[in-house]
Structure 1
């Protein structure tokens, strides 16, 4: 039997490493953490220096038992969970379990060898221990930054002791999160409703989204106008030029009257080229991926949620079966904040670029990138483990999401070592100086950019995020986008002094834009820039706030729910330190300092918990009891004539009769801009309840519609909302609207689970012109563009949107 035991997290990782190390090693998975704080109690003894009480996780007992049994016959145990704080905690708890098991065996051995009397003693003294002579294995920690032969061999050649500072850093995070969540959540249950949760980081993330929504609501658009001349020189093409100055002063018309006055002033010209400026603009390639940048780009380009990005990246890291080669880890460790790359990987990338593209695409020396000031730099950037496996060669082997993510990582890494892109940028100043004009006339400007050498852009085009809520974080984002489009315009050959012909003068109305709502990509960017969370936590933060019902997604952007806004306001008032973004970022820095040995764990916890416990006591007394709060509205109850009041329920606030439970009448409402409350009439569904006969009405939950009995709560009958399309698969059911756990609307057959037809895109009752499939879908593409595409997988049939209007 193998005398060396290696412990990793997952079976896939175990298979890959087993093939690398061979028969002399036994590889076992732990299936993640084997111990955690108990769910049924706090599990932290504050009075004993925040001592945690870990227990074995129920569904990990089987795996831990297998590990302990294997460790008893091993000479050495190598603990090889992921090389981060969570991996260190897994390794620490397994090592602890091995030590405890060894101690029990040692005591058993002592008891067996102890002298005894009588017949029982005679029988016992001659009996050998079940496990033979006691021998505890040596336990070492190994780090695999890539699951390749080289990476595993290097890790095994450099075994080390467990890192208590890294473990303390993980423990501190876990204890902090438990102290906050375990105390705040019950408070919300008491004050608002059961089932709510709060967290040290998740609540701050929701606050960021709520704050942005308040900024949008408070934003007042300002009108402004532009004046664009379409001009023609002696050579084509025609080109646009925008009015910038009048009489040497910048001009920006505030309304249509001012724009029209300027139009009339310049409509008779003349337009003469005053100055032409040309310069070469260079665009440097981006660095290889860190975790946050990978999540941002995958969300933007691939529309892949961050948690899914990390799942797919984990599978690429742990290893893929390649025919003729075996299990191979395709990327380096995917939780990193560093852009550093090993010298040999840089050399391999440069060799690949030289062979594939030629010397022109290779800079004279390797491109070097600087880490952020807060970067831990514990691991390399995310990159392919070898240039021997280009995406095209692996496409038949990888799953769709694996291929798309691997190709993204591959292209970004190679692009990071390619030559800069070069553009010839031209700016043309055009003077219009009609009679009666200001002393310096009217200055128009045209800009254009022509690529001279694409360099890295031939492989990796950077996303600008327009139309996606990514760009334009400030007011006037629309204007910035227009200027960028103008800068990319194609200009004809012009010469200074050349007279131009005016083809058209176009005044255009614009409005300043509010800050955009966060997409998943821009939220992760915001969290990173403000120091909230770390590479290993971004995905879980985003997933948690969606699952808790505090935010919802609309057109791929985050909107706070009413519940999210209310809970955020309560927590901000009751726990200003916990909800402070800068304080949360400071706590992340404290965790980093614990890992670096600059901070003692217990001291950091004490400094947090003292003020927190004081806020907790105040909030228990001062936080309003919304759970039982009744807000008067003055609206009479349509059932009993009593007063309707505002109550709080699972989906937020609603109107209910004050005489509840004697009268159970409920209704929806909205608040007017004046602050008054008015009823929102239920939309009739056009069908009667099949249980009580009352009319059915349309209601909403998590953004999706459903049909409910108007007799609620006496009758609780509901059914999914039909969208008027027969199921194209079974032809028996109809397509209905549903909501996922995360609040995302999708469409499926009403006969589920007998028929599993489902689609994220809204079905429309049109047959595909290519394959005659009986249903198509209204799909939203990048930039908000919509199209009608076939609903059948693999078919690329499309129809014009007019067909949808004709179909009704």
Structure 2
């Protein structure tokens, strides 16, 4: 019989830890939180000392009964929930239920689920950290006060099922304000002049820089004509050649938000999916002979700190794999941002020696892709800087100056393993120039002026929105994924081409919130509140005082909203066709993945239809139907015949109306690194990438 009971949050974690601790320990799972505020009522009394009313979560009775029985049979109970404020709160609730003294050394925390980390953690149990618990309570109660007070007003005045929240309301505000910027944006004309130049048979590109050594902007076609009128002949003098060596340092290992951003950019993962897979990697996966092993450190963190042990192992691995020149000369210490809670390490592999290739047959495709991203980012962070040779060449003809920039990788350093992604289009890393000398003459082969118009700011992708929220100090690592999920589920925003657009409903709710609850949407107020809650965690601020101060002003706002908020009627847009089931009109509605058609006789009739978008291409398979855009269950766009199921033609790539000039087969548009490539599905015919 076991002497000790260890309670963790999940069965997967329990299985891994029990194997490391041995027969004296029995490890059981609480299955997450066991107590919470009641769903049927507010559960707190603001202005009266708060006193939250906690009840056992529905369905957790059998779990608690099992834990109580097991606790009676052992000498001591250890509470080993996750090493963050949610985990601390779970441990505190369990201590209350199991009559464990919270000041006794009953709490065990570890940043990674490995044998050494677990055994070391159990050598140093501590008491429950009430500052962490109170920080969690404060956040939970503030969210309850906002949600349970504003939501019923929105239900009465707008529509049932709506909600409001501290972080979600600000996220919606950012999306709506960005959309307003786009709508109000007035494009401005500007021009560029690019030239193709020849140096002893080697052609390179340069762009117009200025006149007489001064940089000049080209705003109109007249400006371009004035510049080109000055050029005499096609010979340009090389007036300056500058060569420099530039260092490029690797980025730090992942935090929660940077992991979500990079997984969105490189793997096309939603934030929710990233966190789900990261949880699996952290809790442990079956590696065959090795058993169940935790592959990464804890995935909810905003610290870039790493342990000396992990650093040493990584540096030894880099030396053996790539050579000593590839190891960073100095041990890097990352700057901590003002918002970062340095509670535990960055997200990294539990062992650098466990390479992604060694796990190929043991992990699912998505698990391996995310693990590879984490592994490569961490290893690269411990590698030497890349060294770039850069070259700037200035050409001149009658005072008209063109400039060419080039660079090449002299020493790849960390870039041999990993290069960070970017939301914006970037130039190729290597753009080589011929060996040009000052005083030489080059010949222009082509001068190409082009008209451009300034572009509005881009809509938010998930990655860009997470980055913006983090920069503004709004929300914390654990809140980003559920926030993005909630604003879509409520129908406040939708995704269009992986970018957020506000819905009519989202705009209406936002305007009401701005009128009646401006503090909730105020970026500075929300960021300051987050900072105050962090101070509770650090033990320098009283959590009850924060809630009381917030509620004093909030309560007045609630009374005004109850009396003065006008009822809003949202009329559905007619779709112009009748329901084939009941004959009522079909209307357009906005769902999680955009617009769809639904019967206006809902809930009596629940008929819905996707909005069909024809692309003007006849079906190449049956030749009777037309190709239309469709969406898979995972919201991925594909193309199929409108006579389905009679014709089962489908394609992930967009079919084109014209035929292949080589074999008369079907041409499709395929995504390429630099845009769209046209290629034949029957032969090897391809067309150049269209920029």
Task: Decide: shared fold, TM above 0.5.
Answer: yes
Q: Which residue of 2 aligns with 1:35?
A: 35
Q: Deviations over 1:168-194 (max 9, x none)?
A: 000000000000000111111111111
1:464: which partner in 2? 422
User: What is the deviation of 1:365?
Assistant: 2.9
Corresponding residue to 1:625 among 562, 567, 586: 567
SS of equivalent to 2:136: helix
Q: Using the alignment, how far apart are the partners of 1:625 and 1:598 within structure 2?
A: 43
Q: How far has the Cα of 1:693 moved from its partner?
A: 6.8
Q: Deviations over 1:720-748 (max 9, x none)?
A: 5678999x9xxxxx9994686x9877889
- The separation in 2 between residues aligned to 1:758 and 1:63, in whole angstroms, is 50
**Matching of residues 764-783 of structure 1 within 5 Å:** none
Segments of 5+ residues of structure 1 without an aligned counterpart are 103-135, 434-440, 468-480, 628-647, 655-666, 669-681, 729-733, 791-796, 803-808
- Describe the shift of the 1:763–1:699 C-alpha distance in structure 2 as closer, same or farther (beyond 3 A): farther
On the 8 A contact 2:587/2:600 being kept in 1, the answer is: no
Deviation per residue, 1:585-622 (Å, 9 max, x gap): 11111111001111001101111111111111222223
Distance 1:721 1:426, change over 3 A: closer
The 8 Å contact of residues 232 and 500 in structure 1, kept in 2 or not, is answered as yes
Aligned ranges 1:346-495 → 2 under 5 Å: 346-433=311-398, 441-467=399-425, 484=427, 488-495=430-437
Q: 2:624: which partner in 1?
A: none
**Number of equivalenced pairs:** 671
- CA–CA distance in structure 2, aligned partners of residues 453 and 563 of structure 1: 53
Counterpart position of 1:675? none
Q: Which residue of 2 aligns with 1:5?
A: 5
Match of 1:173 in 2: 139
Structure 1 residues 580 and 287, CA, compared in 2 at 3 Å: closer, same or farther?
same
> Is the partner of 1:626 in helix, strand or coil?
coil
**Cα distance in 1 for residues equivalent to 2:126 and 2:418:** 39
Report deviation, 1:216. Answer: 1.1
1:550 corresponds to 2:476: no
| Distance in 2 (alpha carbons) for counterparts of 1:208 and 1:490 | 41
* Contact 1:530/1:585 (8 A) holds in 2: yes
Q: Name the residue aligned to 1:590.
A: 532
Is the Cα–Cα contact under 8 Å of residues 285 and 415 in structure 1 kept in the other structure? yes
Structure 1 counterpart of 2:266:
301
Alpha-carbon distance between aligned partners in 1 of 2:672 and 2:241, rounded to the nearest angstrom: 39
1:609-624 aligned within 5 A: 609-624=551-566
Q: 1:61 to 1:267 in 2, by over 3 A?
A: farther
* 8 Å contact from structure 1 (residues 706, 737) kept in 2: no
Counterpart-to-counterpart distance in 1, 2:196 and 2:632: 49
Cα separation, 2, equivalents of 1:345 and 1:87: 24
* Cα deviations by residue, 1:340-370 (Å, 9 ceiling, x for unpaired): 1111111100000000001111133323322
Q: What is the distance in 1 between the residues matched to 2:247 and 2:149?
A: 54
Q: Distance in 2 between matches of 1:185 and 1:87?
A: 28
Question: Separation in 1 of the partners of 2:567 and 2:601?
Answer: 29
Give the corresponding residue for 2:226. 261
Q: Indicate the RMSD between aligned Cα atoms, in angstroms.
A: 3.5
Residue 187 of structure 2 corresponds to residue 221 of structure 1: yes
- In the alignment, is the contact (CA less than 8 A) between 1:278 and 1:425 conserved in 2? yes
Q: Is the CA contact 1:229–1:240 (under 8 Å) kept in the aligned structure 2?
A: yes
- Structure 2 match to 1:92: 92
Is the Cα contact below 8 Å between 1:232 and 1:501 reproduced in 2? yes
Q: Do the aligned partners of residues 26 and 139 (structure 1) sit closer, same or farther apart at CA in structure 2, a change above 3 Å counting?
A: farther
**Alignment-derived partner of residue 26 in structure 1:** 26
Q: Name the CA shift for 1:776/1:625 in 2 (closer, same or farther; >3 Å).
A: farther
Secondary structure of the residue that 1:549 maps to in structure 2? coil
* Helix, strand or coil at the partner of 1:59: coil
3-state SS, counterpart of residue 99 of structure 2: helix
Shift of 1:236: 3.9
Higher relative contact order (CA 8 A, sep 6+): 2
Instruction: Look up the SS of the partner of 2:477 in the other structure.
Output: coil
Q: Distance in 1 between matches of 2:341 and 2:448?
A: 53
Following superposition of structure 1 onto structure 2, how do residues 566-585 of structure 1 map, counting pairs within 5 Å? 566-585=508-527
